[in-house]
């Protein structure tokens, strides 16, 4: 029992320090292409279902992330909630995907990025849902498509780095 608890603490600490590094990269926009930064935090949390972290662990980390956001970057709070909801959606549909981990991961990146934009759009336009679809489509710009492509490219790099180290994402 003690060994299992120590493993959980070790995993949490590793994830915590990885998250801090990713948060700094995201916040200071260290890696940008055409003025667009990939959503590293979304990709970080998307790894959770594929590394078989339990939903409860994800919810715990998501709540910590939202609290962290409130204190350090309060202007990101709606984006943080949208991000967490889009990853929860992936948790819900993961068992209905193809079973090919790589394809499922790329599909999850694509779906969660688009869903992130949809939820963020709905948060911004609360109460004014008339013509919401046409307004969303017109607001989904070239920048959004660049971010989607960059998320997929970074996701492939993440996938390959895990594969190279012998860690199989499921």
> Is residue 169 a part of any domain in this protein?
no
pLDDT at 10: 87
The reply to whether 25 falls in a domain is yes
Q: Which residue has better confidence, 12 or 80? A: 80
**Whole-number pLDDT of residue 29:** 92
List pLDDT tens digits, range 20-56: 999 999 999 999 988 899 999 999 999 999 988 899 9
* Residue 89 falls inside a structural domain: yes
- Residue 31 domain flag: yes
For residue 9 the two structure tokens come to 């603490």
Is position 12 within any domain? yes
Identify the residue with better confidence: 54 or 162: 54
CA atoms of 142 and 148, how far apart (whole Å):
10
pTM: 0.88
Q: Is residue 124 part of a domain?
A: yes
pLDDT on residue 28: 93
Which pLDDT tens digit goes with each residue over 117-155? 888 888 876 666 666 666 677 667 788 899 999 999 999
| Per-residue pLDDT tens digits for 41-94 | 999 999 999 988 899 999 999 999 999 999 999 989 999 999 999 999 999 999
> What pLDDT, on a 0 to 100 scale, did the predictor assign at position 7?
84
Identify which has the larger pLDDT, 160 or 131: 160
pLDDT at 168 over 60: no
Distance, in Å, from the CA atom of 158 to the CA atom of 43, rounded to the nearest integer, reads 9
Q: Please give the Cα distance from 52 to 157 (Å, whole number).
A: 19
Phi-psi region of 35 (alpha: psi -120 to 50; beta: other; left: phi over 0): left
Question: For the chain, how many structural domains are there in total?
Answer: 1
Instruction: Tell me what pLDDT residue 51 has.
Output: 87
Which band of pLDDT confidence, cut at 50, 70 and 90, is reported for residue 115?
very high
Q: Is residue 170 part of a domain?
A: no
**Domain of 24, in residue numbers:** 2-164
Q: Are 46 and 105 within 8 A, CB to CB?
A: yes
């Amino acid at each position: 029992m003690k060994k299992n608890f120590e493993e959980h603490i070790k995993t949490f600490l590793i994830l915590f320090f990885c998250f801090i590094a990713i948060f700094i990269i995201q916040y200071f926009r260290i890696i940008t292409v055409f003025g667009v930064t990939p959503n590293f935090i979304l990709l970080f949390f998307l790894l959770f279902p594929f590394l078989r972290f339990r939903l409860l662990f994800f919810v715990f980390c998501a709540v910590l992330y939202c609290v962290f956001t409130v204190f350090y970057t309060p202007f990101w709070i709606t984006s943080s909630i949208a991000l967490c909801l889009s990853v929860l959606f992936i948790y819900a549909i993961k068992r209905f995907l193809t079973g090919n981990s790589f394809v499922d991961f790329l599909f999850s990146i694509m779906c969660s990025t688009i869903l992130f934009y949809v939820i963020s759009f709905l948060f911004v336009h609360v109460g004014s849902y008339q013509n919401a679809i046409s307004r969303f489509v017109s607001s989904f710009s070239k920048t959004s498509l660049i971010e989607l492509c960059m998320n997929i490219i970074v996701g492939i790099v993440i996938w390959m780095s895990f594969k190279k180290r012998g860690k199989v994402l499921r």
